[in-house]
A and B are shown apart, each in its own frame.
Chain A
Amino acid sequence: MPDLTILQRAVADVSRQIRVRRAEFYGLRGLFGGAVVALLPLVLRDSLGWTGFLWAGVCLAAGALAGAVAGFLMPLAAGEAARLADRGYSLQDRVATALEWADRPDRTPLVEALVTDAVARVQAMTGRRIIPRRIPREARFVPVPLALGIALVLAPAIPLPQGALSNLSGARQDDEEKPPERAGSLESQERPQAAKREDVRRAEVQERTFGPRAGAGGATQPGDISAVFKDTSLAGQTPDFNAFLKKGDDRIRMLEQIDRLPDLQRDFTQSQQRMIFQKAKALRGGLKGDQFSPDKLRELMREMERLGRKGDPGYQGDLGEGMEALEQGQSDRAMEAMERALNKLRAMEEKGRDGKGLRGGREDERRGARRGERGPGGAPGDEGDWPEGEGSLPGKGKNPNRKGDPSQRLNTNPFDVGVEGQARSGRKDGMDTNLVGRGGNVPSRLQYMGVLGQYRKQMEEDIVREQVPRDYHGQVKDYFKALDEK
């Protein structure tokens, strides 16, 4: 086995390089620390005298020395040094492997060749420095405490306060107003008592309504935004968000009352009759005749009367009777009269539906006519298309023919169908927007006449403001005129 001394010497050399570099590195760190500490005796130079300079120098040197010594003496494993030697000399881990395996009992014959090879390669190398110098981060800041120290040396000594330290608490106005003879002596000065401050009162846990603030700071002008931010009685209180979360605001509480929630899906373009129904229903609301407001009942009856002028529902008499009873203070009688009027109104509504070809419709009318021919003694359940016991199957109908009764549609006019968007017999109200196509199936969301009035007004304003091109003025006016004719 070749002598390992050469390898060990090479590793020792690398170890020494590492220690030197460590001493430099940690010495610089210590220098920085010492420089910072050295500022203290310079600050206290007034009391320390010339020894302040001495202490500062000692701190500086001691810091650097302590760092260097600590760095030099830091533990270093031989294996690590061997690894760094391999890396530094590009020996591909030969030295570390050879030193590690040379003394192992399970070494293989190849280890001997490895040691020989490693020794030969190490001998052929020149002893160069392979451990690079590293500068610690603190070294860049060493000039800062040094410059401060020089400034302190050149500046006059800082006088230290004699006796007890002055009161560093916040000066109050009443302290400043004290007579000078009382504030002159530090020993006799009374320690100012801090004014007892009012405890911050926690806002009560209660339901609060956050409405717009009503200008507690005085009269405010409209549009005075700053008034919103003016102090109010609530400003002195700590905001209590817990109460808000606990109790919730009006919107959250409203969610719990389902019957009070507005029906956002309601079709506001329903017929006026239906609106009358709904108003009547809301008016009654489970109350007896003497419990609801006579004014509302009167308002409702006037609405119905106005509605009845368009057609001839036949409830004008009932309404007149109701109004008369209301004048006499007989609410129950007025209510009964209104119920009768509503029933007639409902009947008119049903009749209007028939005109739309919904349930019933023309077929029902025809069937009614046939029923009339047959007389009032028609079989019960004759309202449907196929009364019980009848059908198109052979033997099911009353007709002795094999195929039963002929179809009711045989002699009808094939063109007798309503054209969508065309006026038909039935109710007519102001909400029909006469839409055709796909939009015709969707009920309008706005009241036709009201919206039309708004648009017309807007049109006139736009024309005045010259927002509509001059060439189109006539066209736009013609368009709205055509809408009026409809």
Chain B
Amino acid sequence: MPQFPTPPQTQEQRVQEFVADFQTLRGEVRKVIVGHDDVITHVLIGLFAGGHVLLEGVPGLGKTLLIKTLSESLDLSFSRIQFTPDLMPGDIMGTNIILEDEEGRKHFQFQRGPIFAHILLADEVNRATPKTQSALLEGMQEGAVTISGTAHPLPQPFFVLATQNPIEMEGTYPLPEAQLDRFLFKLRVQYPALEDLTEIIDRTTQVREVSVQRVMTGPRALALRELVREVPIASHVRDLAALIVLASHPQWERAPEQTRRFVRYGASPRGAQALVLGAKVRALSEGRYNVSVEDLRAMALPALRHRIILNFEGEAEGVDVDRLIANIIEAAENLSVTEKEVFLR
């Protein structure tokens, strides 16, 4: 068996440091945000998995505050764009302006837009026109924007956190399925519980200074992203991830009944990538060196809920996508052991 140049202690230290950084960052956000532990954890998982996160929730639940607090915890540049119907792509990406030098000669100079930041808060992203949304989503996917034939790379890490309001649909432009697929996770911000609500009241109506410290730099975040990719995954766990994604497709011959009945389009291969990457970050954040089936179960909802498109019957029946995904996971796990002998199930 070959020997590795780095001693095992070093690997354990790397993982321990990941866990410590993850906990510290979460602690800083929790100084400001009350409750929403799952949302905070999933946002951080999205950050270290190298994807972008869409937060959906009614107004006033602290979505924007969560993202602002996270940006304050990271030693990274931060931009916020309030999306409106009259926002143009140039307002996001930047534009070429004419400048005149001391000798009176005029030339074009690219004036960078707010997209050139490490952390970008796209507030109420569904209020902008599809043209503007596409400009943002192109940058999310490619990591660069092209203006006047010149490609401008975006700074790394580039992390987009978008919010949208599910109830005010008038005057909005809902993101198409193809563009939703660009987001690694879609998180639902729920209304806080009673104890959380009382804590929010106490924190926000009294004189209390809360200072959030910058606990992580950009290079450090990139290094942790590299570590995530090293986490091994067993073949049966990987196969289960593939089965879960396939079981969300109604056209698949072994798809469960619920999928056949209520789903129009299933999750894309990006969904499987998001599932496994999220599971790897989750495993590391818990100090484990491998991905388990429990990690897949935990990450299936945020990774797949925006990638499963219900059909008319599903919409008419008011099918909850989260419940549907739980059904799909159960069906996939049964499928993985159905053909096995009774003692191997």
**Residues of A that sit less than 8 Å from B by CB:** 1-2, 18, 21-22, 25, 74, 76, 79-80, 83-84, 92-94, 96-98, 100-103, 107-114, 116-117, 131, 134
Contact B290 A114 (CB under 8 A): yes
Interface 0/1 of B10-21, CB less than 8 Å to A: 111011000000
**How far is it, in angstroms, between the C-alpha of A134 and the C-alpha of B343 when the chains are bound?**
8
A116 cross-chain contacts in B, Cβ below 8 A: 8, 12
Write the chain B residue with the least CB distance to A87: B293
B235 cross-chain contacts in A, Cβ below 8 A: 79, 100
Write the chain B residue with the least CB distance to A82: B234
Contact B234 A117 (CB under 8 A): no
Contact A110 B343 (CB under 8 A): no
Query: How many chain B residues touch the partner (CB < 8 A)?
Result: 32
**B233 shortest CB reach to chain A, Å:** 7
A110 cross-chain contacts in B, Cβ below 8 A: 11, 14-15, 227, 230-232, 289
Interface set, chain B 261-298, CB cutoff 8 A to A? 288-294
**How far is it, in angstroms, between the C-alpha of A20 and the C-alpha of B306 when the chains are bound?**
47
Interface set, chain B 301-345, CB cutoff 8 A to A? 340-344
A21 cross-chain contacts in B, Cβ below 8 A: 343
B2 cross-chain contacts in A, Cβ below 8 A: 1
**How far is it, in angstroms, between the C-alpha of A113 and the C-alpha of B14 when the chains are bound?**
10
**How far is it, in angstroms, between the C-alpha of A97 and the C-alpha of B236 when the chains are bound?**
9
Contact A1 B3, CB 8 Å, known A84-B344, A97-B232, A110-B11: yes
A131 cross-chain contacts in B, Cβ below 8 A: 343
Contact A117 B289, CB 8 Å, known A93-B234, A100-B234: yes
Count of inter-chain pairs, beta carbons less than 8 A: 92
Interface set, chain B 220-276, CB cutoff 8 A to A? 227, 230-237
Write the chain B residue with the least CB distance to A86: B292
**How far is it, in angstroms, between the C-alpha of A102 and the C-alpha of B290 when the chains are bound?**
12
| Interface CB pairs A-B, < 8 A, 9 | A21-B343, A80-B340, A92-B293, A97-B237, A101-B232, A109-B4, A111-B289, A114-B289, A114-B290
**B82 shortest CB reach to chain A, Å:** 42
**How far is it, in angstroms, between the C-alpha of A109 and the C-alpha of B2 when the chains are bound?**
11
Q: B151 in the interface, Cβ–Cβ < 8 Å?
A: no
A108 cross-chain contacts in B, Cβ below 8 A: 230-232
The 5 closest A-B pairs by CB, nearest first: A114-B289, A113-B11, A92-B292, A97-B290, A108-B230
B148 cross-chain contacts in A, Cβ below 8 A: none
Contact B1 A102 (CB under 8 A): yes
Q: B204 in the interface, Cβ–Cβ < 8 Å?
A: no
14 additional contacts (CB under 8 A) given A100-B234, A103-B1, A114-B290: A1-B4, A18-B343, A18-B344, A92-B293, A93-B234, A93-B292, A96-B236, A97-B232, A97-B237, A100-B235, A109-B11, A112-B4, A114-B289, A117-B12
Contact A113 B343, CB 8 Å, known A83-B236, A96-B234, A108-B232: no
Contact B232 A107 (CB under 8 A): yes
**How far is it, in angstroms, between the C-alpha of A116 and the C-alpha of B287 when the chains are bound?**
13
Contact A74 B341 (CB under 8 A): yes
**How far is it, in angstroms, between the C-alpha of A103 and the C-alpha of B235 when the chains are bound?**
14
B205 cross-chain contacts in A, Cβ below 8 A: none
Write the chain A residue with the least CB distance to B11: A113
